[in-house]
Structure 1
Amino acid sequence: MKILVILGPTASGKTRLAVRLAQRFDGEILSADSRQVYRGLDIGTGKDLDEYGAIPYHLIDVADPGDGFNLFRFQQLCLARIPEIRARGRLPILAGGTGLYLESILRGYRLTPARVDPRQRAEWHALPDDELIARLLALKPEQHNTTDLETRDRTIRAIEIALASRNDTAPVVTTPEADFLVLGLRWERSVLRERIAERLHRRLQEGMIEEVEGLLAAGVPEETLDGMGLEYRFVTRFVRGTLTREACETHLVQAIRQFAKRQETWFRRMERQGVRIHWLDATADPEGEAEERVGSFLASGVRP
């Protein structure tokens, strides 16, 4: 089973490349984005659904904000969709920038559902932030998923998952008979920084503020939006009057640029751990090079 993977930092053009390759090689796209799974979070997550045209896509709009969508659910849904796509004679294309989601498929994470114990949660909620984080780090000394530390709810959930994983001795599983070609989009740092700023300005112009206002009016709690990503966190603060428009945009563009650096760090770690990424120069002709690589990949019996 051949699977194409397209990754890169935010604003690198992953969706555009995925759509181009899906058109060329009769593919269907599986989103590996931890926020695009949520309904109603459209502009801030950059779903850009118009770009897909007639190309089928999956794992977008599969949960409501606050549902607590997690890695376990992503992996389950993704591994269920892949054979369905192959059964239709089409190429599965996994595209996104959430490194943990990508790794769960590429490296075959064996995940265990972590149950919720209300009494235990109440005890953890009574702890100060630094003690909560210390407990998580004691369970996971190499804490790569920094989003687990962004809110108390995320940290508590990460502790539950870490405890469940520690008590599970079942072997790691891999995607059956999977052969991956992993393509990465790479931009020169200064160019990517400008792309991030331009995209943020465009999203604000397209109605990201109004989107947040609508979510709040619909009853989505502020703390839920705070955990839905940088755009929703900072724009919510502007809507509530704790940030000016100028400060919101300034702080947000800086935070997204820092996030892009963390994504790049994650991808480098993936390479050190054995994931082979074929990097495409995004300033040249990435689509042409990608088509050549995918053509060779599909024509061969082994990974090129």
Structure 2
Amino acid sequence: MISVLCIAGPTASGKTALAVALARRLGGEIVSADSQQVYRGLDAGTAKPTPEERAAVPHHLLDVAEPGEGMDAARWAALADEAIAGIAARGRLPIVAGGTGLYLRALLRGVAEAPGRDPALRARLEEEAAREGRPALHRRLAEVDPAAAARIGPNDLVRVVRALEIAAGGRTQTEVFAGHAFAAARYRYRLLALDPPRAELHARIDARVPLLFSRGLLAETAALLARHGGRLPAKLPLGYAEAAEVLAGRLEPGEATRRVQVAHRRYARRQVVWLRGEREVEWLAPPVDPDALAAGLAAWRAAAAP
């Protein structure tokens, strides 16, 4: 069984820096498990690894989908399996780094068996959201599956609709996921999660968001609008809707920054909630000594050698 190191944690917690540091010490390659960084051309707005980081260590599963195309967990896991097999065949350590909990679960435990898509129900739910507002649909989800509502933001229409669609099949998404968590592991793995204090994490988020804007978020948004007839495609990462409002003159840059900061803080909270429900998570309180951590991981890796 292939050994895989996973590095998770909330946004802005330092996952990329730690993954690069460990990859350099352990002879690893990084597989991104970030549902926002899969999109081509959305570099600044998703805080992708820098050119220097990508030059230092090979990265996989960045820039593998077009904005608006969508990337579900099953498709991502299939791509990750392929990347991991190639890394292992080269005698290197696959390091899966990212904060998308559903991707990590699909990789480590397989894709949960859930009801299929119901186009008619989806259409009704989307019409309801358009008529009454996305928060109203989110409140309905909170009534039938409070835990799912805690994981999913009120404006994440795609995931809210999917959770309601699953619940309509007789079992809530939370119940499906809970049963799935006990599926057999697909890899020999360690799952490390960064856990900075909340105040420190919020400070890191608040410092990062202005950099997203200054490093090209507005330009990326303008390019998207130009390619899509003046409208943003669906399923975009956080920040692009606010950037479009700035470009249209409907929102001041300072207020846009504040809103994106709040959205990222809420997203970070949901990521932590998800990870708290996962099995075999090893929580790390920053600062992390990469040399000491790498030494322990090298011993773990060597224990699997034939």
Q: Which bin holds the TM-score, normalised by the shorter protein? A: 0.7 to 0.9
**Identity percentage of aligned residues:** 36
User: How far does residue 93 in structure 1 lie from its aligned partner after superposition?
Assistant: 0.6
- Give the one of 140, 147, 156 matched to 2:161: 156
Cα 1:57/1:220, change in 2 over 3 Å: farther
**Secondary structure, aligned partner of 2:95:** strand
User: How far does residue 109 in structure 1 lie from its aligned partner after superposition?
Assistant: 3.5
* C-alpha distance after superposition, 1:11-57 (max 9, x if no partner): 12111111121122121111111111111111111112411214222
1:4–1:94 Cα contact (<8 Å) kept: yes
Residue 14 of structure 2 corresponds to 13
Residue 211 of structure 1 corresponds to 220
Residue 143 of structure 1 corresponds to 148
Q: What TM-score does the superposition give when structure 1 sets the normalisation length?
A: 0.82
Distance 2:295 2:124 in 1: 56
Residue 37 of structure 2 corresponds to 36
Distance 1:155 1:234 in 2: 21
Does residue 187 of the first structure (1) align with residue 187 of the second (2)?
A: no
What is the RMSD computed on CA atoms of the aligned residues? Answer: 3.1
1:30–1:59 Cα contact (<8 Å) kept: yes
User: How far does residue 164 in structure 1 lie from its aligned partner after superposition?
Assistant: 7.8
* C-alpha distance after superposition, 1:236-276 (max 9, x if no partner): 22222221111111222222223222222222222xxx323
* C-alpha distance after superposition, 1:181-235 (max 9, x if no partner): 122223232222222222222222212111111111121764536x423221322
Residue 299 of structure 1 corresponds to 302
2:224–2:232 Cα contact (<8 Å) kept: no
1:197–1:253 Cα contact (<8 Å) kept: yes
Distance 1:185 1:250 in 2: 25
Gaps of 5+ in 2: none
Residue 68 of structure 2 corresponds to 66
- Give the one of 266, 289, 292 matched to 1:289: 292
Cα 1:199/1:135, change in 2 over 3 Å: closer
| Counterpart AA for 1:214 | A
Q: What TM-score does the superposition give when structure 2 sets the normalisation length?
A: 0.81
2:138–2:154 Cα contact (<8 Å) kept: yes
Does residue 268 of the first structure (1) align with residue 276 of the second (2)?
A: yes
| Counterpart AA for 1:216 | L
**Secondary structure, aligned partner of 1:6:** strand
Matches of residues 167-186 of structure 1 in structure 2 within 5 Å? 174-176=184-186, 178-186=187-195
**Secondary structure, aligned partner of 1:230:** coil
2:6–2:96 Cα contact (<8 Å) kept: yes
**Secondary structure, aligned partner of 1:93:** strand
Matches of residues 92-103 of structure 1 in structure 2 within 5 Å? 92-103=94-105
Bigger mean CA offset, 189-198 vs 210-219: 189-198
1:29–1:94 Cα contact (<8 Å) kept: yes
Distance 1:175 1:294 in 2: 19
2:39–2:64 Cα contact (<8 Å) kept: yes
**Secondary structure, aligned partner of 2:193:** strand
**Secondary structure, aligned partner of 2:233:** helix
Cα 1:222/1:277, change in 2 over 3 Å: farther
Residue 254 of structure 1 corresponds to 262
Gaps of 5+ in 1: none
Distance 1:103 1:220 in 2: 37
Distance 1:220 1:73 in 2: 28
